[in-house]
């Protein structure tokens, strides 16, 4: 991970997190790892909001990203494949919406919404300690992107 540079006011970055209540058994694991990673990086201002599901994440991310007291946003959740096309719609539109928020606001918005065929696969990408955790990865990525954008 690249070193995180402090902003002009010499304060650590301020982060917004959008967490999906749907499949919260996964989201909570992602959130816990994300918050720990941010704390280890010296981030002490985190605003967390909960939304019903992944489809609603982009709207909440946009509201957070528009705030002057937020430097970057992380979206966390899990969409698990079911028997219908619904999975594809929710996963694709959540991803598209999150990217659109980033491009519209010029702030990094991380896609930490897992898309998995099974709960077991999602658990594998949200391990509480060691191993893979997309929440931790998103914390690192948002801090790296904040530093990068400040230097461009």
* Identified catalytic residue from 86, 117, 118, 131: 86
DSSP assignments along the chain, one per residue: -PPPPP-TTS---EEEEEEESTTHHHHHHHHHHHHHHHHHTT--EEEEEEESSGGGHHHHHHHHHTSTT-SEEEEEEEEE--SSTHHHHHHHHHHHHHHHHHHHHTS-EEEEEEEESSHHHHHHTB-SSSS-BHHHHHHHHHHHHHHHHHH-
Look up 11 and say whether it is catalytic. no
Catalytic residues: 86
């Amino acid at each position: 991970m690249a070193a995180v540079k402090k902003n002009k006011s010499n304060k650590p970055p301020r982060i917004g997190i959008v967490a999906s209540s749907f499949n919260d058994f996964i989201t909570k694991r992602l959130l816990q790892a994300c918050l720990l990673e941010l704390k280890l990086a010296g981030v002490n201002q985190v605003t967390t909001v909960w939304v019903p599901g992944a489809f609603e994440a982009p709207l909440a991310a946009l509201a957070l990203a528009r705030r002057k007291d937020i430097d970057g946003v992380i979206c966390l959740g899990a969409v698990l494949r079911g028997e219908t096309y619904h999975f594809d719609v929710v996963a694709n539109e959540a991803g598209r919406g999150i990217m659109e928020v980033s491009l519209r606001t010029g702030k990094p918005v991380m896609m930490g919404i897992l898309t998995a065929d099974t709960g077991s696969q999602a658990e594998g990408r949200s391990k509480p300690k060691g191993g893979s955790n997309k929440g931790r990865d998103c914390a690192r990525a948002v801090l790296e992107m904040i530093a990068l954008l400040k230097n461009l």
